[in-house]
C-alpha cells in the first residue's frame, strides 16, 4: 500500500506530472512547447529508427528461405534486453543511491523495499524508451509479414511490457550487492567506480564468450545452425536465454505460446520479488553512510601558501572547476565516460569474438580510397563525443549554482570559451584509445592514424558547439539530483540527434564531393571544412546569445 | 556608491509587485541595513543589484556603473553573499577560493596573504583542504563570505549574512564590515536580526510589500514612530500599518 503511494509520488516527481498539469491549465503555451520538444526529439531520432526498420525488413527477407524468420524477434529481444542490462547498471546506481529525495524518504517510517520498489518502477518506465525503438520494429515486421492475428498483437503487447523487467532486475541485484559491499571502505567512491567497470567488463566478457563461435569449427557450426530449424534462434538467444521464451511465446502458437509466455512472466515476477527481498536486507546497508565524506589532513601554513600563490586565467579556472566536478561526481563520471566507453566496447567486441570478424574489420580498415576509413574512424571519435554528454548538459549541470557563473566578473563569452575547451578535452580522451586500436589492431600507418585523429578532433568541434548551444538555449536547472541533470535531461537526446544530423549532412557532402571529383582531397576539404564551418557558426551563435542568456538564466 | 532610482520588479505578468518604485542612495563608507518582513522584496532587490534578476523598470548604478548596461564593471566591484550558501560540493574549500581568486583576478602574492588572513578570521584553516560537501551550514556560509571578500570589493552586498554563523564568527564579520567601510567602501546587507542592524548600521531602510516605507539613521527612524525605544518596536509599528 505504502509502495503504491510512493510510486505515485515518484511518478509525479520524475515525470513532472504535477508541473505538466499546471502548465496545461495555466500556461498552455509552455505545455505546447514541451510537447513540441518531445515531437522534435522523436523526429530527430526517427531517421535512425527507419534505418533500423529497413535492416529488420532485410533480415526477415534473408531468413525467410531458411525458415527461421522468428530470429528477427529473438535478436531484437536480445538486443533490447542487453542494452537495458548494460545501461541499466549506471541508471540503477544513479536512481537508487544518488537521488536527493533519499534524505527525505529514509527517515520516514517506510520499508526499504517500498522505496526500492517505487524507484525500480521509475527506471523501468524510462527503459521502455530503450526497448521501444529496438523491439517494436521487429514485432511489426514479423507480425505484418506473417499476417499474424489478434492474439499475436495482444501477446506482443504483454511481451513488450515484460522485456525490460528481467535485465533491470539483474542490474538492480548486481548494484545492490556492489553498493552493499563497497560501503565498508573509506575509499568507497573509488571502489564503486572500479566495481562498476569490473561488473560491466565481466558482463560483456561473459556474454560474448557464450555467443562466440568455436574457433576452427566454423564450417560445421554453420551447417548445424542452418540445418536445425531452431539452430539460429538458439544461437541468438544464447547471449540472453529468457529471450527464447519471449520469442516462442510470440511464434510457437497454441498451448506452447501460452506456456512460454507463462515462463517469461514467471521469471520476470521472480526477478522483481528477488530484488525486493534482497533490497529489504541490503538497500539501507549500501545507502546509509554512503555519502559520508572523509576529512583530509589539515593543511600547514606552507602548504596553504604554496597552494594559493598560483593563478590561472578565468577560462582555465572554469575548465579546472568543470574537470574536478566531473571527476568527483560518480554520476557524471559514469554517465559520461562509461556511456562512451560502452559504445566503443559494443562496436569493438566483434573483433574479439572469433569467427573471422577481425579480418572483416581489418579489410574494412584497409579499404580504398583511404579517405573512407580515415574519415570513418574520425567520425567514430566524433560520435563518441556525443555519447559523453559533457557539452549537452554543461549549463544544466550547474543547476542552482548557476548564480556563481552569473555574478562573477567573467564575460559570458569567456565562460563559453572555457566550456568549449572543457568539452573538447573530455572528447579528446577518445584519441589515445583510437590511436591504439588503429595502430595495434588494424595495423594502420602513423600518417593515417595522425590524420584520422586530427580529423576526429575537427569533427568533434561542431558536435560540442551544437550541443552546448542547445543546452545554453534551454538549460535544465531545476533538478534535485545530479542524475536528473545528465540522465533525465532532454537536451542530451536533442544533442545526440543534432550531432547525428550534422554527421549525416557531412557524409552526404563528402559522398557528393567524391562523386563529382573522384579524388580524395576534395572530400577532406568538404567534410572537415564543413565541420569547422558548422562548429564556428554554432560557436558564434553562442557568443552572440551568451550575454542575454547569462542575464536571464535561472532568473 | 549605490544609486537606485524608480526600481520596479513584478512577477506573474505584473500580478505580484515584488519591488515597486524603489529609490535608494547608499554613500561610500556607509553600512546600510535592509530590513523587511518575509516576502517584502529584500532578496529581489539584492538579486537585481548583482545582476541575477532583470528589473522591469528603473536604474541601478553601483560605483557609477549601470548593472543593466555595464554588468561586468559592476561585478568586478562587488562581492556577493547569497541568502543560502549553495556552492560546489565537489570542490575543496581551497579550490573554491582559488577559483574565486582567478575569476576576480586577484594576484598570487596578494591572494596568498588574504586567504591566510581571512581563514584565520573565520577559523576555517583546518577544513580548507576538505570537500565543501563535508562542511556544515555555518562553514559554508563562512567560505562563501571569504570568497566574496577576497578581492576587497568596493561594495559588499550580502543577503542574511549572519544566518548560521556562530557568535564569534558573527562578531568577526561585524568588525570586518566596519573596517571595510572605514576604508571608504560600502556594505549593503539584509537581515532579520534587528539588534545587529540597530548597533551596526549607519543607515537602515525598511521595505514592506515592495515599497521602501522608511529610510534613515536610527535617530531619523525613531522620529517616524510613536514608540521610539527600539528598532524592533519601530519595525513592528511600521510594518503592521
pLDDT, tens only, B161-212: 998 899 999 999 999 999 999 999 999 999 988 888 888 999 999 999 999 9
Cβ–Cβ gap A552/B134 under 8 Å: no
Mean pLDDT over B27-50 rounds to 93
pLDDT at residue A355, as a whole number: 47
Q: CA A199 to CA A175: how far, in whole Å?
A: 9
Cβ–Cβ gap A400/B86 under 8 Å: yes
Proportion of chain A in helix, strand, coil states, percent, rounded to 5 = 80, 0, 20
In the structure, what pLDDT confidence band is assigned to residue A300 with cuts at 50, 70 and 90? Answer: confident
In the structure, what pLDDT confidence band is assigned to residue B150 with cuts at 50, 70 and 90? Answer: very high
Cβ–Cβ gap B116/A304 under 8 Å: yes
Domain boundaries, chain B: 2-239
Mean pLDDT over A151-169 rounds to 94
Task: Compare all CA atoms of chain A with the CA of B13 and give the residue at the minimum distance.
Answer: A27
A290 touches chain B (CB under 8 A): no
Nearest chain B Cα distance for residue A441, angstroms: 39
pLDDT at residue A489, as a whole number: 86
A410 touches chain B (CB under 8 A): yes
Residue A492 three-state SS: helix
Q: Output the nine-digit C-alpha cell for A511.
A: 559522398
* Ramachandran angles phi, psi of B198, nearest 5°: -60, -45
Q: CA B144 to CA A258: how far, in whole Å?
A: 65
Residue A277 has pLDDT above 60, yes or no: yes
Higher pLDDT, A62 or B110: B110
The closest CB to that of B51, out of A325, A404, A407, belongs to A407
The closest CB to that of B87, out of A401, A551, A554, belongs to A401
Query: Hey, how many other C-beta atoms are within 10 angstroms of the C-beta on B100?
Result: 25
Mean pLDDT over A378-386 rounds to 90
The closest CB to that of A310, out of B51, B108, B116, belongs to B108
pLDDT at residue A226, as a whole number: 59
> Which CATH number is B2-239's, of 3.20.20.330, 3.40.50.300, 2.30.40.10, 3.50.50.60?
3.40.50.300
* Ramachandran angles phi, psi of A137, nearest 5°: -60, -40
A12 touches chain B (CB under 8 A): no
What angle do helix axes A371-387 and A357-365 make, rounded to 10 degrees?
110
User: For A98-241, where are the alpha helices, taking DSSP H only?
Assistant: 102-105, 112-146, 150-162, 165-182, 188-211, 218-227, 231-237
Side-chain-side CA neighbours of A439 within 13 Å: the count stands at 12
Q: CA A52 to CA A242: how far, in whole Å?
A: 23
Q: CA A312 to CA A537: how far, in whole Å?
A: 28
Which among B27, B28, B29, B20 is positioned nearest to B48, based on CA atoms? B20
Which among A540, A392, A387, A535 is positioned nearest to A475, based on CA atoms? A392
pLDDT at residue A210, as a whole number: 65
Report yes or no: A326 and A333 within 8 Å, Cβ to Cβ.
Answer: yes
Proportion of chain B in helix, strand, coil states, percent, rounded to 5 = 40, 25, 35
Per this entry, what is the length of chain A?
A: 555
Chain centroid offset of residue A471 CA: 18
In the structure, what pLDDT confidence band is assigned to residue B118 with cuts at 50, 70 and 90? Answer: very high
Task: Compare all CA atoms of chain B with the CA of A26 and give the residue at the minimum distance.
Answer: B12
Nearest chain A Cα distance for residue B101, angstroms: 8
pLDDT at residue A139, as a whole number: 93
A187 touches chain B (CB under 8 A): no
DSSP code at position A64: G
What count of CB pairs under 8 Å joins A to B?
Answer: 117
pLDDT at residue B126, as a whole number: 87
Ranges A93-97, A510-514, B19-23: which has the least confidence: A93-97
Amino acid at each position: 500500500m505504502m509502495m503504491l503511494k510512493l510510486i505515485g509520488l515518484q511518478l509525479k516527481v520524475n515525470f513532472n506530472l504535477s508541473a505538466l498539469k499546471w502548465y496545461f491549465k495555466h500556461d498552455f503555451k509552455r505545455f505546447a512547447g514541451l510537447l513540441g520538444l518531445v515531437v522534435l526529439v522523436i523526429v530527430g531520432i526517427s531517421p535512425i529508427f527507419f534505418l533500423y526498420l529497413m535492416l529488420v525488413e532485410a533480415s526477415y527477407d534473408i531468413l525467410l528461405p531458411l525458415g527461421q524468420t522468428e530470429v528477427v524477434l529473438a535478436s531484437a529481444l536480445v538486443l533490447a534486453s542487453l542494452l537495458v542490462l548494460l545501461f541499466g547498471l549506471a541508471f540503477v546506481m544513479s536512481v537508487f543511491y544518488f537521488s536527493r529525495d533519499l534524505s527525505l524518504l529514509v527517515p520516514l517510517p517506510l520499508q526499504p523495499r517500498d522505496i526500492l520498489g517505487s524507484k525500480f518502477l521509475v527506471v523501468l518506465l524510462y527503459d521502455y524508451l530503450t526497448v521501444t525503438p529496438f523491439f517494436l520494429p521487429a514485432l511489426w515486421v514479423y507480425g505484418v509479414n506473417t499476417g499474424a492475428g489478434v492474439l499475436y498483437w495482444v501477446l506482443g503487447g504483454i511481451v513488450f511490457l515484460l522485456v525490460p523487467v528481467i535485465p533491470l532486475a539483474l542490474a538492480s541485484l548486481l548494484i545492490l550487492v556492489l553498493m552493499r559491499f563497497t560501503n565498508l571502505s573509506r575509499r568507497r567512491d573509488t571502489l564503486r567506480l572500479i566495481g562498476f567497470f569490473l561488473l560491466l567488463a565481466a558482463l560483456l566478457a561473459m556474454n560474448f564468450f557464450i555467443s562466440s563461435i568455436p574457433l576452427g569449427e566454423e564450417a560445421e557450426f554453420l551447417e548445424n545452425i542452418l540445418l536445425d530449424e531452431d539452430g539460429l534462434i538458439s544461437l541468438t538467444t544464447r547471449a540472453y536465454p529468457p529471450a527464447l521464451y519471449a520469442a516462442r511465446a510470440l511464434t510457437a502458437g497454441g498451448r506452447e505460446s501460452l506456456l512460454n509466455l507463462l515462463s517469461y512472466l514467471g521469471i520476470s515476477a521472480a526477478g522483481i520479488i528477488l530484488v525486493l527481498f534482497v533490497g529489504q536486507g541490503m538497500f539501507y546497508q549500501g545507502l546509509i553512510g554512503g555519502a559520508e565524506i572523509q576529512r583530509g589532513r589539515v593543511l600547514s601554513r606552507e602548504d596553504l601558501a604554496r597552494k594559493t600563490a598560483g593563478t590561472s586565467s578565468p577560462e582555465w579556472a572554469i575548465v579546472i572547476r568543470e574537470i574536478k566536478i566531473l571527476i568527483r561526481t560518480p554520476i557524471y563520471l559514469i554517465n559520461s565516460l562509461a556511456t562512451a566507453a560502452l559504445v566503443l566496447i559494443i562496436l569493438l567486441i566483434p573483433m574479439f569474438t572469433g569467427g573471422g570478424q577481425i579480418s572483416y574489420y581489418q579489410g574494412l580498415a584497409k579499404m580504398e580510397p583511404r579517405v573512407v576509413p580515415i574519415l570513418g574512424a574520425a567520425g567514430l571519435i566524433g560520435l563518441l563525443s556525443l555519447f559523453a554528454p559533457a557539452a549537452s548538459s554543461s549549463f544544466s549541470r550547474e543547476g542552482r549554482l548557476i548564480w556563481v557563473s552569473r555574478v562573477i566578473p567573467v564575460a559570458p563569452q569567456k565562460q563559453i570559451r572555457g566550456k568549449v575547451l572543457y568539452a573538447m578535452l573530455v572528447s579528446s580522451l577518445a584519441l589515445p584509445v583510437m590511436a591504439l586500436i588503429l595502430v595495434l589492431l588494424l595495423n594502420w600507418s602513423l600518417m593515417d592514424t595522425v590524420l584520422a585523429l586530427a580529423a576526429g578532433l575537427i569533427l568533434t568541434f561542431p558536435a560540442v558547439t551544437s550541443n552546448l548551444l542547445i543546452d545554453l538555449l534551454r538549460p535544465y536547472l531545476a533538478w534535485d539530483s545530479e542524475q536528473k541533470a545528465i540522465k533525465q535531461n532532454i537536451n542530451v537526446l536533442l544533442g545526440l540527434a543534432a550531432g547525428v544530423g550534422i554527421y549525416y549532412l557531412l557524409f552526404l557532402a563528402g559522398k557528393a564531393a567524391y562523386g563529382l571529383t573522384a579524388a580524395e582531397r576534395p572530400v577532406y576539404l568538404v567534410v572537415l571544412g564543413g565541420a569547422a564551418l558548422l562548429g564556428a557558426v554554432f560557436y558564434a551563435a553562442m557568443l552572440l546569445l551568451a550575454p542575454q542568456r547569462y542575464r536571464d538564466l535561472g532568473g | 556608491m549605490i544609486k537606485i532610482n524608480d526600481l520596479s520588479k513584478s512577477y506573474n505578468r505584473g500580478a505580484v509587485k515584488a519591488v515597486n518604485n524603489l529609490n535608494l542612495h547608499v554613500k561610500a563608507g556607509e553600512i546600510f541595513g535592509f530590513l523587511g518582513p518575509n516576502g517584502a522584496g529584500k532578496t529581489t532587490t539584492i538579486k537585481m543589484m548583482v545582476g541575477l534578476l532583470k528589473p522591469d523598470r528603473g536604474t541601478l548604478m553601483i560605483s557609477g556603473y549601470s548593472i543593466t548596461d555595464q554588468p561586468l564593471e559592476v561585478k568586478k566591484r562587488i562581492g556577493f553573499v547569497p541568502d543560502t550558501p549553495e556552492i560546489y560540493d565537489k570542490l575543496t574549500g581551497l579550490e573554491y577560493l582559488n577559483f574565486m581568486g582567478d575569476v576576480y583576478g586577484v594576484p598570487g602574492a596578494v591572494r596568498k596573504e588574504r586567504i591566510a588572513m581571512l581563514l584565520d578570521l573565520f577559523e576555517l584553516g583546518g577544513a580548507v583542504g576538505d570537500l565543501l560537501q563535508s562542511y556544515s551550514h555555518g562553514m559554508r556560509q563562512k567560505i562563501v563570505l571569504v570568497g566574496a571578500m577576497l578581492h576587497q570589493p568596493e561594495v559588499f552586498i550580502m543577503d542574511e549574512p549572519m544566518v548560521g554563523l556562530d557568535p564569534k564568527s558573527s562578531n568577526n564579520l561585524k568588525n570586518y564590515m566596519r573596517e571595510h567601510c572605514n576604508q571608504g567602501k560600502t556594505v549593503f546587507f539584509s537581515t532579520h536580526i534587528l539588534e545587529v542592524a540597530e548597533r551596526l548600521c549607519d543607515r537602515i531602510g525598511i521595505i514592506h510589500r515592495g515599497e521602501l516605507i522608511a529610510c534613515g539613521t536610527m535617530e531619523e527612524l525613531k522620529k517616524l514612530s510613536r514608540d521610539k525605544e527600539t528598532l524592533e518596536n519601530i519595525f513592528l509599528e511600521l510594518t503592521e500599518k
